């Protein structure tokens, strides 16, 4: 599907979609339990992949009135009857690679073309250190993966600057091993707030885990030298249930649309504080001069059209915000410098190059470096063009927001891939007043 967006004036109220990051972890945590109900889950392609994996390991996932009733495998996953297809979901593959290492036999994990190009090597090496079988069929550290267990726990050494999801996989699986797992980080941890999300979900399911050597600030995992999770634990959420919070990665596009195109204001509900690092988007937009008010207690964000100025943003802990910040920078005055972003190249696509190339098609002037993206807003004049979505939900949504303020029509190819995290994204924009055609 292609989506064509014209310059539009937005206004109205919308509810934030549930968090994809929390939904993945909650589904798998419920799978590790004897059973639990997950309320307000994100209903999209990626969490569906995690649900299929839980079923492949012997659990059962049923949708009941918008919630998920999950019968778990009680920490002892079966050997799947078939290959586990993770689709386009990197989170699914990495998290359930840890689960596969607990099964007494061989599990094969694969995914689509994009997922089969993403790095898994450090996690495979970690599982090998724990005595498991962990191989890439092509010998390149990428899926398809062959995983054999069961592992019993131990100590592993792993880099912290490739993907925090490796840490999450080991923590979630380590809780049900005999010995537990202690993780030594070989490098600085990036995306630390995502590990905080994991620690928060584990705590909600009654599982103890902790960072080692962290700085003790608002982000618990920041500066950690490692992590520890004791073994022989059980996943038991209070009352047998868990509620998924709103997704600040998705909120970022709505907030950006508000400060770029909503003269009469745009209100986002479901924006309650959590461990999500992407709540940083509120402060970033405020620093750029955006008119934003956040009632944290009520979970209500209000934004209205503003004159923005460029800023410098380090996305080491918030990689998913790069496409949104780049779009804001293209519509702002002055220079927006996005730093510490090399790891953003290893997402569904190389998002640094993707945003540089496609914003340039729209008339932005952009300088791309290995670990930095600079958007020269004062030298940019956005004008409609046909751009590629790279089958990447975050690139598609960010370019769609740019289309709201570009002259003429902006056509985004492959727009259906918003299904990964925000399935009704274009319906929401339309209801807020955007001029959109889909074909």
- Per the annotation, does 25 bind a ligand? yes
**Would you name the residues annotated as active-site residues?**
320
Let me know the angle formed at the C-alpha of 347 by 377 and 391, rounded to the nearest 5 degrees: 80
Q: How many CA atoms lie within 13 A of 351 on its CB side?
A: 27
DSSP, res 188: P
317: which 2 tokens?
Answer: 């802990």
Q: How many CA atoms lie within 13 A of 323 on its CB side?
A: 32
Let me know the angle formed at the C-alpha of 284 by 402 and 287, rounded to the nearest 5 degrees: 105
- Per the annotation, does 347 bind a ligand? yes
- 236: Cβ–Cβ under 8 A, 6 or more apart, which residues? 33, 34, 205, 206
- Per the annotation, does 20 bind a ligand? yes
- Per the annotation, does 163 bind a ligand? yes
Please tell me the distance from the alpha carbon of residue 218 to that of residue 355, in angstroms, as a whole number: 30
54: which 2 tokens?
Answer: 């839980």
How many C-beta neighbours within 10 Å does residue 216 have?
10
Q: In what order do the strands lie in the sheet containing 12-15?
A: 12-15, 266-269, 300-304, 291-295
- Per the annotation, does 164 bind a ligand? yes
SS (H, E, C) 333-399: ECEEEEECCHHHHHCCCCHHHHHHHHHHHCCCEEEEECCEEEEEHHHCCCECCEEECCCCHHHHHHH
- Per the annotation, does 276 bind a ligand? no
Residue whose C-alpha is closest to residue 332's, from 281, 376, 387, 394: 376
- Per the annotation, does 407 bind a ligand? no
> Strand pairing of 409-413 and 386-388?
parallel
- Per the annotation, does 365 bind a ligand? no
Ramachandran class of 364: left when φ > 0, alpha when ψ lies in -120 to 50, beta otherwise: beta
DSSP letters spanning 118-163: S--HHHHHHHHHTT-EEEETTSSS-SSEEEE-----EEEEE-SSS-
Q: How many CA atoms lie within 13 A of 135 on its CB side?
A: 10
Q: How many CA atoms lie within 13 A of 63 on its CB side?
A: 11
- Per the annotation, does 353 bind a ligand? no
Q: Please give the annotated binding residues for 3-phosphoshikimate, written as ranges.
A: 20-21, 25, 163-165, 191, 320, 347
Q: Please give the annotated binding residues, written as ranges.
A: 20-21, 25, 90, 118, 163-165, 191, 320, 347, 351, 394
Q: Please give the annotated binding residues for phosphoenolpyruvate, written as ranges.
A: 20, 90, 118, 165, 351, 394
């Amino acid at each position: 599907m292609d989506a064509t967006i014209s310059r539009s004036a937005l206004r109205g109220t919308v509810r934030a979609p549930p968090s994809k990051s929390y939904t993945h972890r909650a589904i798998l945590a419920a799978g590790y339990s004897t059973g639990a109900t997950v309320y307000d889950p994100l209903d999209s392609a990626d969490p569906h992949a995690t649900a299929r994996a839980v079923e492949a390991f012997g659990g059962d996932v049923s949708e009941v009135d918008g919630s998920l009733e999950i019968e778990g495998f009680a920490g002892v996953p079966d050997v799947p009857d078939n290959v586990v297809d993770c689709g386009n979901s990197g989170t699914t593959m990495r998290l359930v690679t840890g689960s596969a290492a607990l099964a007494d036999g061989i599990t094969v994990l694969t995914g689509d073309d994009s997922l089969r190009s993403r790095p898994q090597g450090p996690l495979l090496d970690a599982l090998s250190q724990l005595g498991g079988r962990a191989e890439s069929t092509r010998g390149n550290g990428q899926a398809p993966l062959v995983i054999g267990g069961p592992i019993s726990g131990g100590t592993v050494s792993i880099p912290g600057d490739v993907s925090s999801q490796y840490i999450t996989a080991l923590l979630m699986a380590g809780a049900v091993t005999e010995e537990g797992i202690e993780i030594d980080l070989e490098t600085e941890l990036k995306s630390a707030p995502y590990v905080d999300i994991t620690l928060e979900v584990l705590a909600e399911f009654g599982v103890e885990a902790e960072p080692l050597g962290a700085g003790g600030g608002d982000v618990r995992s920041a500066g950690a030298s490692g992590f520890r999770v004791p073994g022989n634990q059980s996943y038991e959420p209070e009352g047998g249930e868990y509620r998924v919070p709103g997704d600040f990665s998705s909120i970022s596009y709505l907030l950006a649309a508000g400060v770029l195109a909503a003269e009469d204001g745009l209100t986002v509900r479901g924006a309650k504080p959590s461990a999500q690092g992407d709540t940083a988007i509120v402060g970033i937009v405020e620093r750029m001069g955006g008119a934003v008010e956040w009632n944290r207690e009520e979970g209500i964000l209000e934004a209205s059209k503003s004159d923005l100025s460029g800023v410098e943003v380090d996305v080491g802990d918030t990689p998913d915000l790069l496409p949104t910040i780049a779009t804001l920078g293209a519509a702002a005055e002055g220079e927006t410098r996005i730093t510490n972003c090399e790891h953003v190249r290893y997402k569904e696509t190389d998002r640094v190059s993707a945003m540089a190339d496609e914003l340039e098609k729209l008339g932005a002037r952009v300088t791309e470096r290995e670990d930095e993206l600079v958007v020269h807003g004062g030298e940019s004049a956005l004008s409609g063009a046909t751009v590629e979505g790279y089958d990447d939900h975050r690139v598609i949504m960010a370019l769609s927001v740019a289309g709201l303020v570009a002259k003429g029509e902006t056509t985004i190819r492959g727009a259906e891939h918003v299904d990964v995290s925000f399935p009704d994204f274009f319906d929401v924009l339309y209801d807020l007043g955007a001029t959109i055609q889909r074909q």
